[in-house]
Amino acid sequence: MSTSAAGPGSAVPVAVVPKAGSGPTPAVIESVNVTIDGKPHQFPKGTNLLEACNQVGANVPFFCYHAGLSSPAVCRQCLVDVKGQPKPVPSCYTPVADKMEVTTASPRVLDVRRQMLEFTLLNHPIDCPICDKAGECTLQKHYFDWDAKFARNDGIKVHKDKVVDIGKHIVLDQERCILCTRCIRVCDEVAKTHELEMANRGDHEVLTTAPGHRLDNPYSLNTVDVCPVGALTAKDFRFAMRAWELSSTPSVCPGCATGCNVEIHTARGHVYRLVPRINQAVNKHWMCDEGRFTYKALHAERLAAPRIGNSPTDWDRALEEAGKKLRAALDADASKVGVLFSAQTTNEDLYLLERLAFEHLRVGKAYLAGRDQGWHDDILVSADKNPNTAGAIAIGAGRLKNLMDLANDLRSGAISALLVLGAEGVLVGESAAAAMPVDRLSALVVIGTHTDLLVDSAHVALPLAAWAEVDGTFTNRLGMVQRIRAALPPAGDALPGWEIVTHLARRLGVTLDFSTPKAVFTEAKQKLAFMKDAEWGRAMLPVQLRFAGSRG
Amino acid sequence: MDQSIAPSSRRVVLGVSEPTDDALDAPDLPTEPMPLNMGPSHPAMHGTVRMVLDVEGEKITSADVQIGYLHRCFEKESESATWTQVFPYTDRLNYVSPMLNNVGYAMAVEKLLGIDKQVPERAQYIRVLVGEMSRITDHMTCLGAGAMELGAFTAFLYMLKAREWFYELLEEVSGARLTHSYMRIGGVCDDLTPDFVPRLTDILKRSRVVLEDVSKLLDRNRIFRDRMDGIAIITREEAIAWSLTGPVARSAGLAYDVRKDHPYLVYDRFDFDVPIGSVGDNFDRYAVRVEEMKQSMRILEQAMEQLPGGPVVVNDPRITLPPKSETYNSIEAMIAHFKIIMDGIHVPPGEVYSFTEGGNGELGFYLVSDGTGRPWKCRVRPPCFPAVQIMMKLLPGLFLADVVPTFGMMNMIGGECDR
């Protein structure tokens, strides 16, 4: 039985939307004058020189530097000439200073850069055809942009271990590693664990786990993202798909209330991975391992066609039947009709269902369902495992009761009919049915994404498009309304929730006239205070990674 | 411009048309206007093109030439192919002289890359050699088919026989008989075969005989001359006004040849003439092409004589695929190979118009790069497009039967015209 008493409804007051980048005005920061490649620029004091150069389009390459991590200056790719300095300086390790004169591509700098790449490639295995990183590899990119000379050395390469199982999700290839230490810093600075380290010296230096440890922190897959080459590969993505075949759609992770910004990487109607998308206000550069696997559910046990009883049917018949059942129950006693909202569905779905239930049908009972609470930390993971609890609570405006109340009402016979939009987490496990006797209902209409116990018990089940298949918005635990985008066509005959609600409304004699999710959003934005500042954003096609160039 | 008429481009009879037979134009035959549809698939028309003619009796009063039946989205397709992957598409522009399209496109990209001066000399000579061979096959196809459509089947077979010799040699060099894709950005994909020069010498010798034979069959042939002389005359002014280039413009007296007027590759090192016509009728277009083949043979002989040794493609891992032995054995070459195949050659942002002398005239490529491995825009100036356009003006007033030789001598190539 999983009617979480605490439930998704217990938490999260709806906060004022903090806009990204608009914190309290910082104290006036001194700015310094820097000349980069002959042109004068101004930067706030303390700006990293590498960032300063690249901000003004200088294109200084780097392996070891990462905007979300500290700078160790080990890769020597970002060396630039600073007037007055005897040697090129690592720009990732140098703050800008007043009257600094920087040359980012002097012959000396280019030469050093090329020589460093030559050293890096000296022992690099000839793995591109079988390497998962090929196509989005920083080493490939930098070689092509900055070296482009054939090998001068045909000696035997130093061999290291090629398949080291270092963690639950990750395989290490020590030969491919270019020793940039980004992954070590991810563990040190993001996950605050310290599993990875360097061992040995010179061309025998290898990345390895600390003795007796495995790379098993909850943020381990970020090491794969930051790896500039194919040294760290995700077991889940390894050999599954070539990177350049993928298309990227910006969206939001549905795994918990944090709402980490992600890119959904798809190919031919299949999701292959989720990777974090930078949002300094939410997740910075990172996301948790658990969130990455939320895509798996998109392709498993989906409710693909409408059902009456347990027999598949078409949309027309199913809607007709659902309308008839609900109409009969409403006519008998509207106060005994219940509607179950879900914290898994978008603001748009919730808003239309709210209008249908309260404004038009005037149902007597409304509940909020969602996944159970789970583990959490103070890095990214929330205890609330639903992406849109804040939105559901705001739209419900105090009228939604929790699943415990639903169970009580079912047992006492206080409700006779139930309309469910988003069934996840309602009936979980063998004993659930006894605690929540849905078989006593005269009408149970379930709009759901997956075939679960509740769908199996429904008189009419309607297939709902899942989060990666719809356009809409989620409201995260900070009250930020974030846009999700359709990366896939809906599974089978499934339709987006808002659209199913409009169809169902028509069968119940109610007109909810919307033809796009944007239209629903626009109206909701006018009516709902928490969506006041939300933006729908521009329409966009998925970006083919092949055309987007290297992600590294 | 070089206005000199090649000494050998003599005319058997210049600009004399037959006296009109008054009886044919007699007004006593009652006729009424009739729309007539020729094409898009018509046995006497090479190329898929539709002509909607208004005829009164046998006489054409208006002609609407409709193109586009062979539209293959060449320009749009190119935008999703890497710069190198466009070569096979260019093969299918003018598919009777694919090498010339290859050369034209390669030179446009090289100009944009700024490596047009670095293309090795041997590669430039090879481009001239295969290009001029292609020009000969182009003209042979045009003239042979044109003669066949007028009933001269023997001339057609002779021409195609000789054309096949050229095709065989091109196949030996490039691996494909028709769609060669032999050029690469920065040179050519492989060196000539060792016996290329002796074989081409032999082919030229035999082809000259074929040209003589065909000349004997056609030049003084009463049927052929009657259908060609004085038909569809284009003046020099019209040729300029309608943007005509190539053999069609030259037959109208406009001595414009890109090879002479804007020499590219190593064309300035060869002694050759640009034949021009004096009447601008169908026979002139035939005669100019015959002479151009002879001039191409002169170029070929000189090019074979001067052919230098050396590499056939620029030596830059960013532009040229490394040799396979390097690719499999060094990570540097492996990455270069991978990036050129998967990302494409990185052409700096900018735009370029580059033009060469194609089989039908000025073949232009207007390319725009946004700095990625693919063309942002790849526009072709197809030389036969203006030639097809002027048909609308030429045909009215002619007899229905004149459509066939006139269209034949314009040498519309659907692949090039419709793209």
Per-residue pLDDT tens for A163-184?
Answer: 999 999 999 999 999 999 999 9
Q: How far is A121 from chain B (nearest CA, A)?
A: 7
Contact flag A148-B331 (C-beta cutoff 8 Å): no
CATH fold, domain A301-539, is Rossmann fold (3.40.50)
Q: What are the boundaries of each domain within chain A?
A: 31-118, 154-240, 301-539
Tell me the average pLDDT of chain B.
87
Question: Strand (E) positions, B93-197?
Answer: 183-184, 187-188
pLDDT more than 90, % of chain A: 57
* Minimum-distance CB partner of A149 among B329, B332, B342: B332
Prediction ipTM score: 0.79
| CB atoms A144 and B318 under 8 Å | yes
Name which residue leads in pLDDT, A116 or A14: A116
On the question of a cis peptide bond just before residue A90, with omega within 30 degrees of 0, the verdict is no
Which of B325, B327, B330, B332 has the highest number of chain A CBs within 10 A, making it the mutation to test binding with A?
A: B332
Mutation for A interface: B316, B328, B338, B340, most A CBs within 10 A: B338
Q: Per-residue pLDDT tens for B196-250?
A: 999 999 999 999 999 999 999 988 888 888 888 888 899 989 999 999 999 999 9
Instruction: Place B19 in a pLDDT band, splitting at 50, 70 and 90.
Output: low
Confidence at residue A431, expressed as pLDDT on a 0 to 100 scale: 66
pLDDT digits over A389-409, tens only? 999 999 988 888 888 888 888
Tell me whether residues B336 and A143 touch, CB distance under 8 A: yes
Q: What is the pLDDT of residues A426-478, one digit of tens each?
A: 776 666 667 788 888 889 999 999 988 888 889 999 999 999 999 999 999 99
Identify all chain B residues contacting A546, using CB atoms and an 8 Å cutoff. 342-343
A136 and A545 Cβ atoms separated by less than 8 Å: yes
Does the N-terminal peptide bond of residue A61 adopt cis geometry, omega within 30 degrees of 0? no
- Eight-state DSSP code of residue B327: H
**d(CA B407, nearest CA chain A) in Å:** 44
Q: Contact at 8 Å (CB) between A253 and A291?
A: yes
Cross-chain Cβ contact A150/B332 below 8 Å: yes
In this structure, the dihedral spanned by the alpha carbons of residues B34, B40, B46 and B47, taken in order and rounded to 10 degrees, is 140
Averaged pLDDT, B108-117: 90
Cβ-based contacts under 8 A for chains A and B: 62
Alpha-carbon distance B225 to nearest alpha carbon in chain A (angstroms): 58
Pick the residue with more confidence: B15 or B182? B182
Distances in Å between the Cα of B57 and the Cα atoms of A369, B29, B35, B62, B63 are 84, 9, 11, 13, 14
Taking the domains of chain B in order of start, what are their residue ranges? 66-418
pLDDT of A495 over the 90 cut: yes
What CA–CA distance (Å, rounded) separates B185 from B181?
A: 11
Examine domains A31-118 and A154-240 and report if their fold is the same: no
* C-beta separation of A149 from A172 below 8 A: no
Residues of B in contact with A141 (CB under 8 A): 339
Instruction: Mark yes or no for CB contact B317/A148 under 8 Å.
Output: yes
Region A54-73 average pLDDT = 90
Helix and strand numbers, DSSP H then E, in chain A: 15, 23
Fold of A31-118: Ubiquitin-like (UB roll) (3.10.20)
Could you tell me if A420 and A426 are in contact, meaning their C-beta atoms sit under 8 angstroms apart? Answer: yes
Is residue A328's pLDDT more than 50?
yes
Above 70 in pLDDT, residue A155? Answer: yes
CATH number of A154-240: 3.30.70.20
CA A368 – CA A421 distance, rounded (Å): 10
Q: Is A56 exposed, middle or buried (0-12, 13-18, 19+ CB in 10 A)?
A: middle
- Report the mean per-residue pLDDT for chain A: 87
State the pLDDT confidence band at A10, using cuts at 50, 70 and 90: very low
According to DSSP, residue B151 is labeled T
State mean pLDDT over B169-196: 91
Give the angle B260-B263-B269 at the CA atoms, nearest 5°.
85
| Among candidates B317, B346, B374 on the partner chain, residue whose Cβ is nearest the Cβ of A150 | B317
CB A439 within 8 A of CB A458: no
Q: What is the DSSP string of A318-386?
A: HHHHHHHHHHHHHHHHGGGEEEEEETTS-HHHHHHHHIIIIIII--SEEEEE-PPP----SSS--S---
Q: Chain A residues with CB-CB distance to B under 8 A?
A: 121, 124-126, 128-129, 134-135, 139-141, 143-144, 147-151, 154, 244, 546-547, 549
Least confident span in A18-22, A26-30, A333-337: A18-22
Q: Check residue B407 and give its pLDDT.
A: 87
Mean pLDDT of A225-242: 92
The reply to whether residue B330 touches residue A140, judged by beta carbons under 8 angstroms, is no
The answer on pLDDT for A308 being more than 60 is: yes
* pLDDT band at residue A27 under the 50/70/90 scheme: low
For residues B3 and B255, the answer to whether their CB atoms sit within 8 Å is: yes
Average the pLDDT over B335-354 and give the result.
Answer: 89
Kindly give the interhelix angle for B196-218 and B153-174, rounded to the nearest 10 degrees: 170
A148–B326 C-beta distance less than 8 A:
no
d(CA B176, CA B171): 5
B210 closest CA partner among B149, B139, B270, B264: B139
Segment A232-260 shows an average pLDDT of 92
Q: Find out whether A36 and A99 touch, Cβ atoms under 8 Å.
A: no
Chain A residue with CA closest to B329: the answer is A126
Rounded to the nearest angstrom, the minimum Cα separation between A252 and chain B is 29
CA dist., res. A136 & res. B138, Å (int): 45
Chain B residues with CB-CB distance to A150 below 8 A: 317, 322, 326, 330, 332-333
CATH of region B66-418:
1.10.645.10
Percent of chain A that is helix, strand, coil (3-state, to 5): 30, 20, 50
**pLDDT given at position A371:** 87
